[in-house]
């Protein structure tokens, strides 16, 4: 019984450490729409940290990313192909630099 638990732990470790997050996949297109209204102001730090971490986890070289701000009107705040760490940093910077304005978010325009 003890060996079964050890085998299961080993399998889970291998599974969790394997490159399942896209290392062997075709490039994808990611459209990220962020509420750019004043509702963004209070949780902005938490949202920025969460999104940045997820982008680092899922993006691989060749992925195309478009980040939208859905404020009073929708607009693209970043668009590019991820080919280096500096591309990822530029995408994350566009999110950090976003300020919430207006009272409504135009999600349909994005």
pLDDT tens digits along 13-69: 454 444 545 458 899 999 999 888 888 788 888 988 999 999 999 999 999 999 998
Q: What is the domain range of residue 94? A: 24-110
Q: Looking at residue 58, which CATH number applies to its domain?
A: 3.40.50.410
- Give the CA distances from residue 62 to residues 57, 66, 85, 86, 92, in Å, rounded to whole numbers and listed in that order: 14, 13, 12, 13, 17
Residue 23's pLDDT is 58
Residue 9's pLDDT is 47
Report yes or no on 72 lying in a domain.
yes
Residue 11's pLDDT is 54
CA–CA distance, 89 with 85 (Å, rounded to integer): 6
Are 38 and 102 within 8 A, CB to CB?
yes
CA–CA distance, 92 with 62 (Å, rounded to integer): 17
Strand, helix or coil at 90?
Answer: helix
Report yes or no on 40 lying in a domain.
yes
* Domains in the chain, number: 1
CA–CA distance, 46 with 27 (Å, rounded to integer): 28
């Amino acid at each position: 019984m003890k060996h079964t638990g050890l085998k299961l732990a080993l399998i889970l470790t291998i599974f969790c450490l394997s490159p399942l997050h896209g290392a062997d996949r075709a490039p994808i297109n990611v459209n990220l729409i962020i509420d750019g209204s004043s509702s963004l102001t209070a949780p902005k730090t938490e949202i920025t940290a969460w999104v940045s971490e997820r982008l680092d986890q899922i993006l691989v070289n060749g992925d195309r990313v478009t980040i939208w701000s859905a404020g009073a009107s929708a607009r693209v705040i970043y668009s590019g192909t991820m080919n280096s760490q500096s591309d990822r940093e530029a995408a994350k910077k566009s999110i950090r630099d976003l300020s919430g304005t207006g009272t409504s978010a135009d999600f349909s325009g994005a």
